[in-house]
Amino acid sequence: MTTFLGMPVTAPRGVGHLRGDQTFPRAARDALQNSQLRRNLRHATTTIRGKSGRVIAELPDWQSLRDAGSGIKADVMSRLPELLVRLEERVVAAGGVVHWAADANEANAIVTELVKATGSERVIKVKSMATQEIGLNEALEAAGITPVETDLAELIVQLGDDKPSHILVPAIHRNRSEIREIFLRAMPGVDPALTDDPPVLAAAARRYLRETFLSTRVAVSGANFAIAETGTLGVVESEGNGRMCLTLPDTLITVMGIEKVLPTWRDLEVFLQLLPRASTGERMNPYTTMWTGVTPGDGPQNFHLVLLDNGRSAVLADTVGRSALHCIRCSACLNVCPVYERTGGHSYGSVYPGPIGAVLSPQLTGVADNASLPFASSLCGACFDACPVKIDIPSLLVHLRDKAPHPVAERAAMAAAARIMDRPRWYASAQRAAKMARIAGRRGRGLPPPLSGWTAGRDLPEFPQQTFRDWWAQRPAVPPAGEPSSGSEEGR
The interface with ligand SF4 within residues 88-127 (CB under 6 A) comprises none
388 binds ligand SF4, rule: CB under 6 A: yes
Collapsing DSSP to helix, strand or coil, 221 comes out as: strand
Out of 235, 333, 373, 397, point to the residue binding ligand SF4 (CB under 6 A).
Answer: 333
Backbone angles phi, psi at 29, to 5 degrees: -60, -40
172 binds ligand SF4, rule: CB under 6 A: no
Stretch in the footprint of ligand SF4 (CB under 6 A) among 88-96, 311-319, 324-332, 484-492: 324-332
Give the integer Cα–Cα distance in Å for 312 and 190.
Answer: 42
Closest of 172, 173, 179 to residue 200, by C-alpha: 179
Q: How many residues does the chain have?
A: 492
Burial 371-380 (b: 16+ CB within 10 A, else e): bbbbbbbeee
Collapsing DSSP to helix, strand or coil, 208 comes out as: helix
330 binds ligand SF4, rule: CB under 6 A: yes
356 binds ligand SF4, rule: CB under 6 A: yes
Query: What single-letter amino acid sits at 176?
Result: R
252 binds ligand SF4, rule: CB under 6 A: no
Stretch in the footprint of ligand SF4 (CB under 6 A) among 20-28, 108-116, 382-390, 427-435: 382-390
Stretch in the footprint of ligand SF4 (CB under 6 A) among 8-16, 387-395, 398-406, 463-471: 387-395
Instruction: State which residue, 307 or 332, has the beta carbon closest to ligand SF4.
Output: 332
Give the integer Cα–Cα distance in Å for 165 and 180.
Answer: 18
Closest of 334, 28, 339 to residue 170, by C-alpha: 334
Stretch in the footprint of ligand SF4 (CB under 6 A) among 116-124, 130-138, 157-165, 325-333: 325-333
Instruction: State which residue, 115 or 153, has the beta carbon closest to ligand SF4.
Output: 153
Query: What single-letter amino acid sits at 181?
Result: E
Out of 37, 153, 256, 332, point to the residue binding ligand SF4 (CB under 6 A).
Answer: 332
Query: Are residues 330 and 275 in contact, defined by beta-carbon separation less than 8 angstroms?
Result: yes
Out of 331, 361, 363, 372, point to the residue binding ligand SF4 (CB under 6 A).
Answer: 331
Nearest distance, CB of residue 357 and ligand SF4, angstroms: 9
Burial 219-230 (b: 16+ CB within 10 A, else e): bbbbbbbbbbeb
Give the integer Cα–Cα distance in Å for 262 and 399.
Answer: 27
Out of 252, 339, 387, 396, point to the residue binding ligand SF4 (CB under 6 A).
Answer: 387
386 binds ligand SF4, rule: CB under 6 A: yes
Q: What is the DSSP letter of 298?
A: B
Instruction: State which residue, 253 or 262, has the beta carbon closest to ligand SF4.
Output: 262
| Contacting positions for ligand SF4 (CB under 6 A) | 327-333, 356, 386-389, 391
